Chain A
Amino acid sequence: KQEVTQIPAALSVPEGENLVLNCSFTDSAIYNLQWFRQDPGKGLTSLLLIQSSQREQTSGRLNASLDKSSGRSTLYIAASQPGDSATYLCAVPNTGNQFYFGTGTSLTVIP
């Protein structure tokens, strides 16, 4: 069974700082990996989807990388803003559409 771990569990940074969130998974035979953002009490917003054949995916200030062989993905957020404060989740699907989620990183950006 796929296990997904996210480190750190919580992170607090001053506004403007660049930061990296980590995600690791135990089974490297993945099809893709998806990063989500969740605001308190809300649903999940898809940020980036990286296919297994890709190494990187970028959207605005966000950059996600994938290293299947080592079972790792990172989400890089450049020039953080208070509006980036949320919980960030990574998820890896099985052969179907069942996603295994990490426990998330709770990010606070201090103005």
Chain B
Amino acid sequence: KAGVTQTPRYLIKTRGQQVTLSCSPISGHRSVSWYQQTPGQGLQFLFEYFSETQRNKGNFPGRFSGRQFSNSRSEMNVSTLELGDSALYLCASSFGPTNPYEQYFGPGTRLTVT
């Protein structure tokens, strides 16, 4: 069974640009969550999608957005990039929208903003 996949694995962008990251969950999983990981702030929750609907949103500015497609694949978009957006972006998938389902993480997308 294939794990969670994320593309691209690495990205270099300049300030002011926008970027789109993609996440394909484990087959059969319908919930996808996104996290930002930085050395200073650790892992922070961005948002969660289930059945194409955003169910939870973390404390991030509106420049961060996402969506989920009917096949459960998800994308997140960051507009008007800032240097502070440089981070490892991780997505996680699980079977359902509520506990007790185990979460499985992808390898992440390393975004560098210059």
Q: Which residues of A contact B (CB under 8 A)?
A: 31-32, 34, 36, 41-46, 49, 51-52, 89, 91, 93-104
User: How far in angstroms is the closest Cβ of chain B from A13?
Assistant: 23
Cα–Cα, bound, A45→B94 (Å): 14
Cα–Cα, bound, A89→B103 (Å): 13
B residues in contact with A36, CB < 8 Å? 105
6 A-B pairs besides A96-B97, A101-B42 with CB distance below 8 A are: A43-B4, A49-B100, A95-B99, A97-B97, A98-B33, A99-B33
Q: Is B31 an interface residue (CB 8 A)?
A: yes
Is A99 a contact partner of B103 (Cβ separation < 8 A)? yes
Is B31 a contact partner of A97 (Cβ separation < 8 A)? yes
Q: Is B21 an interface residue (CB 8 A)?
A: no
Cα–Cα, bound, A49→B4 (Å): 18
Residue of A43, A52, A104 touching B90 (CB-CB under 8 A):
A43
Q: Mark B3-36, 1 if CB is under 8 A from A, else 0.
A: 0101000000000000000000000000101010
Is B102 a contact partner of A49 (Cβ separation < 8 A)? yes
Cα–Cα, bound, A93→B99 (Å): 8
Q: Is the interface of B mostly helix, strand, loop or mixed?
A: strand
B residues in contact with A46, CB < 8 Å? 102-105
Q: Which residues of B contact A (CB under 8 A)?
A: 4, 6, 31, 33, 35, 42-43, 45, 48, 50, 55-56, 58, 88, 90, 92, 94, 97-108, 110
B residues in contact with A98, CB < 8 Å? 33, 45, 48, 56, 58
A residues in contact with B35, CB < 8 Å? 99
Is A97 a contact partner of B103 (Cβ separation < 8 A)? yes
Cα–Cα, bound, A104→B90 (Å): 16
Cα–Cα, bound, A34→B105 (Å): 12
Is A32 a contact partner of B58 (Cβ separation < 8 A)? no
